[in-house]
Structure 1
Amino acid sequence: MAIRGNLSEASLADVLQLLALGQKTGCLSIARDGSFGAIHFADGRIVHASIVNRRDRLGDRLVRLGAVAADELARLSAQLGPQGDRDLAKALLDDARVDRDLLVQVYRTQVEEAVYHLFGWPQGTFTFESDGELAADAPLFSISADSLLLEGARRVDEWSLIEKKIPSFDLIFEVDTARLSAREVPLSPEQERILPLLDGTHDVHDVLERSGLSEFDAGTAIYGLLAAGYAQRAGRSAARLQPPPESRVAEHRNLGVAFYRTGMLDEATREFRRVLELRDSDGISRFHIGLVHARRSEWADAVATFERGAQEPDAPSAVFHNLAFCLEQLGRHADATRALDEAVHRAGGMPDPRLALSRATSLLAADDLAGAEAQLAEARTLWGSRQPSAAWFHAAGLAAAVGGDAARAAALLEEGLAVYPHAVPLHNNLAAVQERRGSYELAARTLEHALLEDANCAHLHKNLGDYLYRAQRYDEAFDAFTRVVRLAPLHGPDVHLKLGNTHYRRGALDEAHAAWEQALALDPDNRIVKANLSALPRQHVAETNAVERPDAPSPDGELHDDDPIEIFVVDTHDGSAALSARDARRVTRA
């Protein structure tokens, strides 16, 4: 479950302490005025931190230290493609290009500097998203958040003083040679390093770039020289030229991708639209705007956006893949099939298991069980030695259950949960399969465990309520059904029917009547509800006849049509397909 807030209400120090005490694993994202930072946690300890579009990357530092040659770094970066400092560090270690101790020291220093920089953001928004994969991926190092708090607070206090003398990085300073030669106090190593750069021509931006110092260390050094009278302000650099269009496009695009990945969709949309204002043909930004529409279930807008992107001659497979998904949501199945065919065609010689999975879910929706099973088998083959996605296990388990093989369905869902223990839909359908096999207590425990993962899933409360109702634990069932109505008032007539039944048992006839009326509004032809309503005034009718009709449909062990089936939206920032299992769909069964 995400944690969101504003830095004006909860400081970054408070947030770090909360995540550390809770031993959280995931990514804390901070956004402020077009700037974006991220701090990654594994079991409550910091393992990575970065700031989008900030100067002084890991590779730059290693080149300045002579740890790696600039041409070697360029070749490695070209092989890796778009990557962050963490990926570069691991690649350098795997290639044995840099001494491990030196690389870890430089990388750790950079992470600490990023966290200290974020301490200086008193305004902005933050979001924490859990991510269990971070704990499984062994970090190069980890840092206790507490160890950074005091230093971070000290730097914030000192920077407030530094800013009074260096309010802008376009200021130019020059050394007072006479006073400097008469000094009695030695200069710090940082001051000695930047002294030759204070020549009346370089502004602070240039000093930072040429000295290789962090903003804080360089600012502290200049502040000390100014305070001692060894340097003075010489003016301001000429208005800096606007960055070339490609630079501006990349900056907005990178921010948009960072916002999108952390669920900050409004901010992501704003940045991607700025890119399109600069360059209307930017397919990556238009693609992500389509993804935002899809996440918000704005299917018509998503289709229009993806169709616009599909007009580009070099539109990648991912565009057509998502277009197919959104067309299905609008009931345009024939168009969806054509879009999926084009996605397969565009994938060319690189078959994608996710495309086979999409075909499988479409065939499953069309009651073509044999075709769905064949596509699921093909998808698993294409994954090779890698584990299939949670969506694959979900679809495979559903196909097995629909085919009447409950044992295989349970085995597939249990296998999926071993890989994706936090996938709530897998828990939900496993519980349904367990009920079908007569393991009612086990199903109830599975549902209760799933509710620890997502207490706001109406399906889980509904299924648990059904179990409790059949076990004649009516008060507990009433609580579960009440939560369903609170979360999803239109979830289904069965919920309101059983709420009415429970009210009737309690003698609350007005409440029973209201609940049954709501059930009838959702299902006007429901004969059981009609019978209960017609029997309500007749006090001589036995409660069991009026409420517990023997011919009432029993959901025992069934996979209902409204059970959530995890489906994917193709999520990419470089034109290649990657899954984002965030959406759900309903699958019709015979």
Structure 2
Amino acid sequence: MAIRGNLSEASLADVLQLLALGQKTGCLSVAREGSVGTVHFAGGRIVHAELVNRRDRLGDRLVRIGAITPDDLARNTAMRAPQDDRDLAHTLLAQGLIERDVLVGEYRTQVEEAVYHLFSWSLGSFTFEPEADESPDAALVSVSADSLLLEGARRVDEWTQIAKKVPSLDLIFELDGPRLAQREVPLSATQERILPFLDGTQDLNTVIERSGLGEFEVGKAVFGLLTAGYAQRVGRSAARRQPPPESRVAEHRNLGIAFYRTGMLDEAQREFRRVLELRDADGVARFHLGLVQLRRRDWVGAFDTFLRASQEPDAPSAVLHNLAYVCEQRGQFEAAAGYLDDASRRMVVPDPRIALSRATLALRVGEIADAESALAEARSAWGARQPSAAWFHAAGLAAALGGDGARAAALLEEGIALHPHAAALHNNLAVVQERRGSDELAARTIEHALLEDANCAHLHKNLGDYLYRGQRYDEAFESFVRVVRLMPSHGPDVYLKIGNVQYRRGALADAQTSWEQALALDPDNRIVRANLDAMRRASTPSEPVPAASDDALVGSAAMSRA
């Protein structure tokens, strides 16, 4: 279950402590205007943390200390996702380019500094998204949150004093040579290290970058020099106030990607639009803007965005694949098929997801044989890898619609074994089991599926239908009520059966209201009309006509097409 809040109501320290005590596994995202940070947990311990658009990346630190060469860094970062220090660290280790102890030491410092920096944020929002279980043993570091809380609190208190003399990192300071030469008290090692950079031309951002020290260390060192009278402020860096356009483009793009990955769609859309305002031809930003619109089910906006992106000569097949998905959702099946053909032609290697999309489209138009052919093509393209849950969903659906219940059940059971948390597979298996006469087994399958996804209206509907047919009306009523809470427009059959149970209980006014809601969804429903007419004609209404069962397979599962 996701956790959301505001830093003005709950401090980062409180949030970290809550996640640590709860032994949570997942990603905590913290955002404020222009910046975002993430802290990853495994079993309540911090295993990764980073700041988007951080000036001093892990690779830069490793080059500075001579642990890797600039060529090694350039070659590996060219293949990595933006700002992904964790991925870079694992890659460097796998290639044997660095000693593990050296890397882990720098990586741990990077993680701790990122958390300490986030402690200074008093405004902004946070979101925690649970993730699949991740063993702390697989992480490069595993840090107790408690070990960072005290140091983080100390730094926040100390920074409050430092900020009185060092309010911004774009300030420029210059040493007072004569006073410094007459000092009687020795300087700290950090102060000695930054002296060459306090020359009246370099701001503190540059000092941090060139010295390899953190913001807190440099700020504290400069504060001490200012207090002792050994340095003075001489101005502010104009370059920092007005960054070049390329830097602004990269900053907004990276922020947008970080927001998108953590589910902060409003913020992601804002950043991608800013990129396109600065550079209309930025394909990465336009593609991700389309993904945001997909997740928000803005089909018109997504179509326009992906269509514009597809007109670029070097547009990847993923753009056309997503454009086909949008057309499918809009009921434009012929156009969707055309875009899938275009996507296939642009592929360098076969992509099973495109073949799977062709199968899904064939199922939508009732072409079972074409769907089976495309599914076989997709499974072949996966090779030794296991197919996705969406493939098993489509394969089970094709077999069931083709009348082969035994093969449908076998495919769905295989899919559940590989993807045990895919609630749609459990649901469809229950429907197949019921249609093969295994009612009790179907009910147990649905109940297990609800443990995976208690917010799936289809699951509650199918469970309610099973209970209703078994004349367990009170239990069925509870399931149907959950359906309409989750999806008020699910279908007339739900309101019909709710009304029937209410009528049995003698709640005639409630029954009439429920049947009227069913009629509003399906004005031609003869069963509902008969019940309402009987109630209006008779002073002692007869038993309502039983509702027909209309169990259905869940519709096409959502597939990642990025």
The answer, yes or no, to whether TM exceeds 0.5 is yes
Distance 1:237 1:261 in 2: 33
Residue 268 (structure 1) aligns with: 268
Residue 413 (structure 2) aligns with: 414
Residue 548 (structure 2) aligns with: 553
Distance 1:414 1:3 in 2: 33
Residue 16 (structure 2) aligns with: 16
Distance 1:241 1:124 in 2: 22
**Aligned AA for 1:144?**
S
Residue 394 (structure 1) aligns with: 393
Residue 495 (structure 2) aligns with: 496
Distance 1:28 1:415 in 2: 33
Larger mean Cα displacement after TM superposition, 74-83 or 514-523: 74-83
Counterparts in 2 of 1:165 and 1:541: CA distance versus 1, 3 Å? closer
State the Cα distance separating 1:134 from its structure 2 match: 4.3
Residue 102 (structure 1) aligns with: 102
Larger mean Cα displacement after TM superposition, 494-503 or 365-374: 365-374
Query: What whole-Å deviation, never above 9, does each CA across 1:344-366 have from its counterpart, x for those lacking one?
Result: 1111x311100000000011112
**Aligned AA for 2:150?**
L
Task: Kindly indicate whether residue 350 of structure 2 is the aligned counterpart of residue 351 of structure 1.
Answer: yes
Task: Kindly indicate whether residue 314 of structure 2 is the aligned counterpart of residue 314 of structure 1.
Answer: yes
Query: What whole-Å deviation, never above 9, does each CA across 1:541-583 have from its counterpart, x for those lacking one?
Result: 653xx343xxx5334xx534xx243132522xxxxxxxxxxxx
Residue 581 (structure 1) aligns with: none
Counterparts in 2 of 1:27 and 1:137: CA distance versus 1, 3 Å? farther
State the Cα distance separating 1:534 from its structure 2 match: 2.8
Q: State the secondary structure of the residue aligned to 1:568.
A: coil
Counterparts in 2 of 1:200 and 1:525: CA distance versus 1, 3 Å? closer
Residue 325 (structure 1) aligns with: 325
Distance 1:365 1:564 in 2: 9
Query: What whole-Å deviation, never above 9, does each CA across 1:309-357 have from its counterpart, x for those lacking one?
Result: 222222211111111111122221111111111111111x311100000
Q: State the secondary structure of the residue aligned to 1:281.
A: coil
State the Cα distance separating 1:9 from its structure 2 match: 1.4
Contact 1:322-1:569 at 8 Å conserved across structures: no
Query: What whole-Å deviation, never above 9, does each CA across 1:195-238 have from its counterpart, x for those lacking one?
Result: 23223332212211121100011111111222233333233345
Counterparts in 2 of 1:510 and 1:288: CA distance versus 1, 3 Å? same
Matches within 5 A, 1:370-519: 370-519=369-518
Contact 1:468-1:474 at 8 Å conserved across structures: yes
Q: State the secondary structure of the residue aligned to 2:558.
A: strand
Distance 1:327 1:231 in 2: 64
Contact 1:354-1:379 at 8 Å conserved across structures: yes
Distance 1:364 1:89 in 2: 44
Ranked by relative contact order (alpha carbons within 8 Å, sequence separation 6 or more), the top structure is 1
Residue 580 (structure 1) aligns with: none
Distance 2:241 2:128 in 1: 37
Counterparts in 2 of 1:175 and 1:247: CA distance versus 1, 3 Å? closer
Counterparts in 2 of 1:444 and 1:506: CA distance versus 1, 3 Å? same
Counterparts in 2 of 1:408 and 1:10: CA distance versus 1, 3 Å? farther
Counterparts in 2 of 1:565 and 1:20: CA distance versus 1, 3 Å? farther
Contact 2:430-2:445 at 8 Å conserved across structures: yes
State the Cα distance separating 1:182 from its structure 2 match: 4.1
**Aligned AA for 1:247?**
S
**Aligned AA for 1:350?**
V
Residue 281 (structure 2) aligns with: 281
Distance 1:465 1:164 in 2: 64
Query: What whole-Å deviation, never above 9, does each CA across 1:380-423 have from its counterpart, x for those lacking one?
Result: 11111222222112111212222233333233223323333332
Residue 577 (structure 1) aligns with: none
**Aligned AA for 1:477?**
A
Identity of aligned residues (%): 70
Contact 1:108-1:141 at 8 Å conserved across structures: yes
Residue 92 (structure 1) aligns with: 92
Unpaired runs of at least 5, structure 1: 572-590
Matches within 5 A, 1:140-219: 140-219=140-219
**Aligned AA for 1:160?**
T
State the Cα distance separating 1:379 from its structure 2 match: 0.7
State the Cα distance separating 1:149 from its structure 2 match: 1.2
Counterparts in 2 of 1:206 and 1:289: CA distance versus 1, 3 Å? closer
Query: What whole-Å deviation, never above 9, does each CA across 1:113-172 have from its counterpart, x for those lacking one?
Result: 101111111111112222216459921121122221111111111111111110122222
Residue 116 (structure 1) aligns with: 116
- Of 554, 557, 570, which residue of structure 1 is paired with 2:561? 570
State the Cα distance separating 1:375 from its structure 2 match: 1.0
Q: State the secondary structure of the residue aligned to 1:567.
A: coil
TM-score for both structures, normalised by structure 2: 0.94
Q: State the secondary structure of the residue aligned to 2:233.
A: strand
Q: State the secondary structure of the residue aligned to 2:319.
A: helix
**Aligned AA for 2:170?**
D
Contact 1:433-1:559 at 8 Å conserved across structures: no
**Aligned AA for 1:4?**
R
Distance 2:441 2:137 in 1: 32
Distance 1:295 1:467 in 2: 33
**Aligned AA for 2:172?**
I
Counterparts in 2 of 1:391 and 1:135: CA distance versus 1, 3 Å? farther
Counterparts in 2 of 1:368 and 1:239: CA distance versus 1, 3 Å? closer
Contact 2:396-2:408 at 8 Å conserved across structures: yes
Distance 1:447 1:16 in 2: 36
Distance 2:477 2:509 in 1: 16
Distance 1:89 1:520 in 2: 61
Residue 363 (structure 1) aligns with: 362
Query: What whole-Å deviation, never above 9, does each CA across 1:470-515 have from its counterpart, x for those lacking one?
Result: 2322222212211211221211111011111111111111111121
Larger mean Cα displacement after TM superposition, 531-540 or 274-283: 531-540
TM-score for both structures, normalised by structure 1: 0.90
Question: Pairwise CA RMSD of aligned residues?
Answer: 2.1
Residue 31 (structure 1) aligns with: 31
State the Cα distance separating 1:22 from its structure 2 match: 2.5
Unpaired runs of at least 5, structure 2: none
Distance 2:76 2:402 in 1: 50
Matches within 5 A, 1:115-134: 115-132=115-132, 134=134
Counterparts in 2 of 1:540 and 1:166: CA distance versus 1, 3 Å? closer
Distance 1:97 1:492 in 2: 60
How many corresponding residue pairs? 561
Contact 1:25-1:135 at 8 Å conserved across structures: no
Residue 340 (structure 2) aligns with: 340
**Aligned AA for 1:462?**
K
